[in-house]
Amino acid sequence: MLAYYFQLAIHSLKRNKVLTALMVLAIAVGIGASMTTLTVLHVLSGNPIPEKSARLYRVQIDPRGSFGFRPGMEPPNQVSWIDGMNLLHAARADRQALMTGGLVAVQPAQSMLDAFFAPARYTSAGFFPMFDVPFRYGHPWNAADDQASARVVVLSHALNEKLFGGRNSVGRMLDVGGHALRVVGVLGDWRPNPLFYDLTRNSYNATEGIYVPLSTSQVLGFAHDGSTDCWGNGGGSKRMDPAAPCAWLQFWVQLDTPASAAAYRRFLVHYSQQQKALGRFQRPPNVRLRNVMQWLDYNQVVPANVRLQTWLAFGFLFVCLVNTVGLMLAKFMRRQGELSVRRAMGASRRTLFAQLLVESGVVGLAGGAGGLVIALLGLWLVRHRPAAYASLAHLDGAMLMITFLLAICASLLAGVLPAWRACSITPASMLKSQ
């Protein structure tokens, strides 16, 4: 029966091609605009590490002085060197990593390549297993290398392609910041978006080519590249001075169970109380432990204009649906004579209503195809915008399915009222007028 209704719908739509084209165009434009903005929102609000995001937590404590204190204030987003090292060495989490971003000069061994600056990550050994970082060649350094401030380096996949043509570079020496470092590993194709573990840099499409032990970066005096929050007498200190009262490091922990997370929170409170008793902290214990998605929400990583554009696009889709309702109502009411004859021959209202809804669904299917073309064009335009997230605007399989589902559902919704009105007229009165 559904196939028969489909054939009737095609035949009916062909009879009035102009009206059909207007309905399809209204659906297509509304779907295209809404799916363009919805796809961008979907990409930007995605989970960068879905398999572990609920078990990875950003640590915040408040070591600042009493000046300016207000109850309920948020602690700094980062930690100081002293606190970061204390928490790292306490090893109360299943895994932990202390890190910051940097910028280092790289001197390629090949004479045809000029020296250049590469974004770097100075971190402890727990970074790689905690974030499930894939390796193409070699392996990460270990805790002993952290302790010894080993002259080792891990390269990103892209930087290894640039420096060594993608070959296995493990064991090779590389001049980084004027110091010879030995390559111990090369990452696979790994680029989390957004860069959740360090939002002080570009949130989207951020690239890091060099990974060096945090202790090594301190010994060699590598440049820090990130935000710094100082208090007290720390304003005039060097940003990477371990003794300065400044928060400039990110500390992440992996806690595999809710009980572990609760225990670690209690540990942070106890640590803050202990440091207050020693005179380092002056404020009451003020700690936060947010998992990955909570951390992204707290920092409002998704641009506000993207959310606004999405709401506006769906408002535009609503306007298009209202226009489609009017067009469908005009089309269905013109067919009252045909529908009355079918009623007189024994067809029920339910049967006619289903037939008209199938016709509405066919309009939605065609509108979805047109909307897909418009959405692809819209995403192409987004990718050419000067925004950090622009290159991420691609339609994946899930959004492709949503495009057609939304179009069909929207057209069915738009067809309910016209179909009901067309089926509610008494056949006798319509037949008398023929």
In order, the DSSP letters of 240-281 are T-TTSSEE-BEEEEE--SHHHHHHHHHHHHHHHHHHHHTTS-
**Token pair 């609503």 in the structure block, residue:** 318
Q: What is the pLDDT of residue 141?
A: 96
The DSSP code for 176 is: E
Q: Please state the rounded mean pLDDT for residues 238-252.
A: 82
Cα separation, 288 vs 286, whole angstroms = 7
Q: What is the pLDDT of residue 346?
A: 61
Q: Please state the rounded mean pLDDT for residues 336-351.
A: 67
The three-state secondary structure class of 43 is helix
Write out the H or E segment, with its range, that includes residue 164: helix 157-164
The helix-helix angle for 81-90 and 258-277 (nearest 10°) equals 130
Render pLDDT for 256-287 as a digit per residue (tens, 0 to 9).
999 999 999 999 999 999 999 999 999 999 99
pLDDT band at 185 (very low <50, low <70, confident <90, very high): very high
Instruction: Check pLDDT > 90 for residue 144.
Output: yes
Of 76, 39, 407, residue with least CA distance to 246: 76
Cα separation, 212 vs 150, whole angstroms = 9
Q: Is the CB of residue 368 less than 8 Å from the CB of residue 403?
A: yes
pTM score, whole prediction? 0.80
Cα separation, 4 vs 369, whole angstroms = 22
The DSSP code for 396 is: -
Q: What is the pLDDT of residue 238?
A: 44
At a CB cut-off of 8 Å and minimum separation 6, what does 401 contact?
A: none
pLDDT band at 431 (very low <50, low <70, confident <90, very high): very low
Q: What is the CA radius of gyration of the chain?
A: 31
Residue 414's identity, in one-letter code, is A
Q: Is the CB of residue 275 less than 8 Å from the CB of residue 75?
A: no
Of 173, 181, 180, 133, residue with least CA distance to 156: 133
Instruction: Check pLDDT > 50 for residue 56.
Output: yes
Long-range own/partner contacts, residues 373-379 (CB < 8 A, 24 or more apart): 373/28, 373/32, 374/28, 374/29, 374/31, 374/32, 374/33, 374/36, 375/31, 375/32, 375/35, 375/36, 375/39, 375/403, 377/32, 378/32, 378/33, 378/35, 378/36, 379/36, 379/39, 379/40
Q: Is the dihedral of CA 50, 54, 56, 57 positive or negative?
A: positive
Q: What is the dihedral of CA 116, 118, 124, 127, to 10 degrees?
A: -140
Apex 52 CA angle, 84 and 60, nearest 5: 25
Of 38, 28, 43, residue with least CA distance to 311: 38
Q: Is the CB of residue 376 less than 8 Å from the CB of residue 395?
A: yes
Of 8, 2, 9, 1, residue with least CA distance to 366: 9
DSSP β-ladder status, 179-187 and 152-155: parallel
**Least confident span in 106-115, 248-257, 317-326:** 106-115
Round the average pLDDT of the chain to a whole number and report it: 87
Kindly report the backbone phi and psi dihedral angles of residue 231, in degrees, each rounded to the nearest multiple of 5, phi listed first: -145, 170
Q: What is the pLDDT of residue 347?
A: 64
Which residues in 239-271 are b (16+ Cβ under 10 Å) and which e? bbeeebbbbbbbbbbbbeeeebbeebbeebeeb
Instruction: Check pLDDT > 70 for residue 8.
Output: no
Q: What is the dihedral of CA 420, 422, 423, 428, to 10 degrees?
A: 150
Q: Please state the rounded mean pLDDT for residues 300-329.
A: 86
Q: Please state the rounded mean pLDDT for residues 109-123.
A: 88
Q: What is the pLDDT of residue 121?
A: 96
